[in-house]
Amino acid sequence: MTIVEACESRTNTTPDFPMGWYTVGRSHELQIGEVTNVTAFDRELALYRTRSGAVVLQDAFCPHLGAHLGVEGRVVGESIRCPFHGWRFGTDGVCEEIPYCEDIPERARIRTWHTEEKHGQIWVWFHPENTGPHWELPDIPQFGAEGWTLPRFAEFDVPAHIQDIAENACDPVHFQYVHKQPDVPPSEVTIEDNGRILHLNSDASNAPIPNQLHATVYSPGHALVHTDYGPGAEMLVYNSAQPIDRHNTKMRWSLIVRKEIEDLAGDDVMQGIIDGLSDDYPIWANKVHKHKPLFCKADKTLVLFRKWVRQFYLTEKDKREIA
Ligand code: FES
Ligand SMILES: [Fe+2]
């Protein structure tokens, strides 16, 4: 007799957060002296820009009585002051001042996350063991280059785990069923020698607007999609994500196109991509994360994705060693 597995619970099967670079905002949204709160990796964080212009992301809860530094906290020079009793923490997280006490306890410190600003976004490196970056952010020469437009931005909250959203890149079949393409575009997935960077090439010459699509996936939730419609008609969509918790992800997209096709493609294409997301939305909002999917023989690119994605998580052995 074939045993049929019980259905997964919607809430208890999602994995941890994959290591990698994520965004927590756009540079222009955070002015000098501004403090804001961010929820990422199922944690509360405080994000601020110091007087000298440095971006700082720190754990939000003050070690004193637990006030949220990102809500009503105040930038003072190169530090942040807690709104509750005025303790002041430097950009390295160490308490520099308690206004009513000369002795600062040794443990008066908060965690500072590794951040960088690039391509108009504020990036944070995430690793479950709090290590420094294992790889650099990529250079994307088309950003700011002559011949390309300034970026258009969009962002959305998606009720799904970051890995399940990223899996779309290796799922050519869903283009036919979810995105109503006439057929499944011939697609090839390859992985660079370093094992990390994944490429998807899709030949959409049968699409209503024929194109060649090339996606470079640097890590789950961090990808560059290049679509080529012919000479001078190119478009780049740069995707970055902010995992909010295990069931919710904020997606940030920056779109640039060749100036030759800006009038034709700029706003319409962005709108088209946003509309495309509403195709995926009901699937994402109602699916479970399948820890062990049942694949058929033709699901080769999905199988490849699941093997590839493992490198971004700690293994069971890693976890035992930490414990
Ligand atoms: S809770 Fe932050 S100073 Fe008291
Ligand atoms: Fe999709």
> Is there a single domain that holds both residue 111 and residue 168?
no
169 & 205 share domain: yes
- Residue-wise pLDDT for 128-183, tens only, equals 898 999 999 999 999 999 999 999 888 999 999 999 999 988 998 898 899 887 77
Ligand 1 pocket, 62 CB below 6 A? Answer: yes
Percent of the chain with pLDDT over 70: 94
- Name the residue at shortest CA distance from atom 4 of ligand 1: 85
Q: Judge whether 122 and 55 are in contact, CB under 8 Å.
A: yes
Q: Please report which ligand is nearest the Cα atom of 280.
A: 2
Tell me what pLDDT residue 13 has. 63
Closest ligand relative to 215 C-alpha: 2
pLDDT over 80 (residue 44): yes
Over range 79-92, report the average pLDDT. Answer: 98
Residue 308 has pLDDT above 90, yes or no: yes
Minimum-distance ligand 1 atom for the alpha carbon of 86: 3
Lowest mean pLDDT among 17-26, 66-75, 180-189, 220-229: 180-189
Ligand 1 atom nearest residue 98's Cα: 3
- Rounded distance, CA 138 to CA 57, Å? 21
Question: Residues 286, 178: contact at Cβ < 8 Å?
Answer: no
Closest C-alpha to 115, from 135, 134, 139, 133 = 133
Select from 35, 59, 62 the residue to mutate for testing ligand 1; criterion: most ligand atoms less than 8 Å from CB: 62
Contact between 131 and 250 (Cβ < 8 Å):
no
pTM for the predicted model, two decimal places: 0.92
Domain tally for the chain? Answer: 2
Do 191 and 296 belong to one domain?
Answer: yes
Residues 241, 220: Cα–Cα separation, whole Å: 9
Alpha carbons within 13 angstroms on the beta-carbon side of residue 64 total 18
Please give the residue that has the higher pLDDT: either 117 or 267. 117
In a domain, 73, yes or no: yes
Task: Tell me the CA–centroid distance for residue 111 and ligand 1, in Å.
Answer: 15
**274 or 98: which leads in pLDDT:** 98
Give the pairing of strands 248-257 and 74-76. unpaired
- Mark 135-160 as b/e (b = at least 16 C-beta within 10 Å): eebeebebbeeeebbebbeeeeebeb
Please work out whether the CB of residue 226 comes within 6 Å of at least one atom of ligand 1. no
Q: Whose CA is nearest to atom 1 of ligand 1?
A: 65
My answer on whether 82 and 216 are in the same domain is no
C-alpha 45/C-alpha 36 separation (Å) is 9
CATH number of the domain bearing residue 188: 3.90.380.10
pLDDT value at 32 more than 90: yes
Report helix, strand or coil for 262: helix
Q: Which ligand is in closest contact with the Cα of 276?
A: 2
Residue 257 half-sphere exposure toward CB, CA atoms < 13 A:
20
pLDDT at site 11: 61
Within this chain, do residues 203 and 271 fall inside the same structural domain, yes or no? yes
CB of 64 closer than 6 A to ligand 1? yes
**Strand, helix or coil at 222?**
strand
Average of per-residue pLDDT across 18-40: 97
pLDDT confidence band for 275 (50 / 70 / 90): confident
Query: Which among 186, 152, 197 has a CA at the least distance from the CA of 308?
Result: 197
- Closest to 111 in 3D by CA, of 70, 59, 56: 59
Domain membership flag for residue 91: yes
- 185 pLDDT band (50/70/90 cuts)? confident
Final residue before a domain boundary, out of 92, 108, 126? 126
Residue 322 confidence (pLDDT) above 70: no
Give pLDDT tens digits for 234-268. Answer: 999 999 999 999 999 999 999 898 988 887 766 77
**Averaged confidence pLDDT in the chain:** 91
